[in-house]
Structure 1
Amino acid sequence: MKLSRRKLLAAAAALLVTGTANASGPQAERVAVFDSATAAQLTAGHKGKPFVLLVWSLDCVYCKRNFEAIGKLQARYPALRIVTLAMDSTEALPQVQQLLQRVSLTRNAWVFGREPQERLRYAVDPDWMGEMPRTYFYRADGQRQGVSGVISSSDWSKHLRWAGIAS
């Protein structure tokens, strides 16, 4: 059976993608591109389950403090669901992926797409003006609380209890 050139190229591309994913290991998951039309996907995958959304940027020094806190919290609460959303452009994807791998937050990772930042921020939260870090605590019933700035240890506990993640 002869394969057409198009089918051969498609098969080679699929093999290359699969091989690259397998070679990178289980932590090297794809960072999805966030746009206003797919904003609902960010929360839909967690329907009925509490989770934390971390909004951050590569150039945000304070965001890294929240990453340190999340690392400690994940050790304490292994079932803690984290979604990250980088406000950086898709051109910064390699750096975003590298940082997320370093802090072990490659699952449920997103990066801002090509739409204007104002539109993307509005899709996340119409009341959010872009200050960072920004952390959202989602309850299983869909209610959420947004917090701007670095979160103290006691405040992490308070917000996680509100969301039904910690007791």
Structure 2
Amino acid sequence: MMRSRRQLLAAAMTAAVATCALMLGTANAADRVAVFESANAARIAASQQGKPFVLVVWSLDCVYCKRNFDAIGKLRARHPDLRVVTLATDSADASPQVQKMLERVRLTRNAWVFGHEPQERLRYAVDPDWMGEMPRTYFYRADGQRQGVSGVISEGDWARHLRWAGIAG
């Protein structure tokens, strides 16, 4: 009987350690930058499960993109439930630098970086009307409708677009 208790305890401990490792692995995977291929465009919207969100398209060498990140940081302080997905137009080879930048601005969840398909194809998958100007921000409503905005967004425009999307009142 004593031996079976030890075996049971050992099995329980092993299961607990495995569960913790799995949970940590899942959390880390969620914070890793995923590679965006054109087939992923619909997956991004679907990943938000019908809830309004903001898609921020940016690049490491875009000075103006950093201003949008500053604004998003302030918005998230006021609206902690603000759902943000980021898409870096840099190549997948730049993933480590993209990850570092996203860690600095605290946007590591739901992060993507352009994959190996031609840039034009990837941009077209995001939005056929988008010519590549940045920053580019999309405001998605729960019903899937979206508005795209190019350039740095003023504080008043952020509020207006978030209201349109049903994100903030």
- TM-score, normalised relative to structure 2: 0.83
Higher relative helix content? 2
**Which protein is bigger by CA-based radius of gyration?**
2
Q: State the aligned residue count.
A: 149
- Superposed CA RMSD in Å reads 2.1
CA drift of 1:46 comes to 1.1
In 2: Cα distance, 1:22 partner to 1:88 partner: 28
Q: Equivalent residues in 2 for 1:12-161 (5 A)?
A: 22=24, 29-161=31-163
Q: How has the CA–CA distance of structure 1 residues 104 and 126 changed in structure 2, closer, same or farther, with 3 Å as cutoff?
A: same
CA drift of 1:22 comes to 4.9
CA distances 1:5-50 after superposition (whole Å, capped 9, x unpaired):
xxxxxxxxxx9xx69x959x86981111000112211111113200
CA distances 1:69-111 after superposition (whole Å, capped 9, x unpaired):
0000000001100000000001111100000001000000000
Judge conservation of contact 2:30–2:110 (CA < 8 Å) in 1.
no
Judge conservation of contact 1:63–1:150 (CA < 8 Å) in 2.
yes
4+ long deviations beyond 4 Å: 25-28
SS of alignment partner, residue 91 of structure 1: helix
- TM-score, normalised relative to structure 1: 0.84
Any gaps of 5 or more consecutive residues in structure 1?
1-14
Judge conservation of contact 2:162–2:168 (CA < 8 Å) in 1.
yes
Judge conservation of contact 1:50–1:163 (CA < 8 Å) in 2.
yes
SS of alignment partner, residue 65 of structure 2: helix
Judge conservation of contact 1:47–1:142 (CA < 8 Å) in 2.
no
Q: How has the CA–CA distance of structure 1 residues 40 and 125 changed in structure 2, closer, same or farther, with 3 Å as cutoff?
A: same
Q: How has the CA–CA distance of structure 1 residues 28 and 40 changed in structure 2, closer, same or farther, with 3 Å as cutoff?
A: closer
Q: Which residue number in structure 2 is paired with residue 8 of structure 1?
A: none
Equivalent residue in structure 2 for 1:163, among 152, 162, 165: 165
Any gaps of 5 or more consecutive residues in structure 2?
1-17
Identity of counterpart residues, as a percentage? Answer: 74
Judge conservation of contact 2:135–2:152 (CA < 8 Å) in 1.
yes
